[in-house]
Amino acid sequence: MPTIQTCLWFDAEGLEAAEFYVSVFPRSQILDVTRWSAADPELEGRPLTVSFRLDGRDFVALNGGPGRPFTEAVSLQVDCADQAEVDHYWERLLEGGGRESRCGWLTDRYGLSWQIVPVRMQELLGDPDPGRAKRAMEAMLEMVKIDIAAVERAADAA
């Protein structure tokens, strides 16, 4: 079976980004750094690719140069057990110049989009009572960072 990995294109900050990401998530590490060879004297010795693992999932950061910025069309979703986890990952991923978006989305300082989603939110959106699910969705659509207690209150309001 082939191995499927997510490759993230950076201008030149792939190693810095990978080091930041492994500091945010448990069970994470830098696996390997491949450097530019003497074939390109201008870049020789600088990181070309960085293989890293985030909480058991493998990624590659490619320092491919400018012209390929990230968009929200692709994001990484972090499923959080509770509000404390939501708050933790929200604050950490915003460090150093990230930007908040809405509905639990943010963009980190490297331009990568993240969805910080409490598992409870997914449960509420899938509630068998369509009224509860609708009220939960409406509450979430008004939020930047998801507040689980506020979404539950909205879902329970009649």
Residue by residue, pLDDT tens for the chain (158 residues) are 788 899 999 999 999 999 999 999 999 999 999 999 988 888 889 999 999 999 999 999 999 999 899 999 999 999 999 999 999 999 999 999 999 999 999 999 999 999 999 999 999 999 999 999 999 999 999 999 999 999 999 999 97
Sequence spans of domains, the chain: 1-68, 70-158
**Residue 140 to residue 120: CA distance in whole angstroms:** 12
State the burial class of residue 38 (Cβ atoms within 10 Å of its Cβ: 0-12, 13-18, 19+): exposed
Task: Please determine whether the domains at 1-68 and 70-158 fall in the same fold group of CATH.
Answer: yes
pTM of the predicted structure, to 2 decimals = 0.93
What class is the 70-158 domain?
alpha beta
For domain 1-68, the question of CATH label 3.10.180.10 is answered with yes
- Taking alpha carbons only, the member of 76, 82, 45 closest to residue 58 is 76
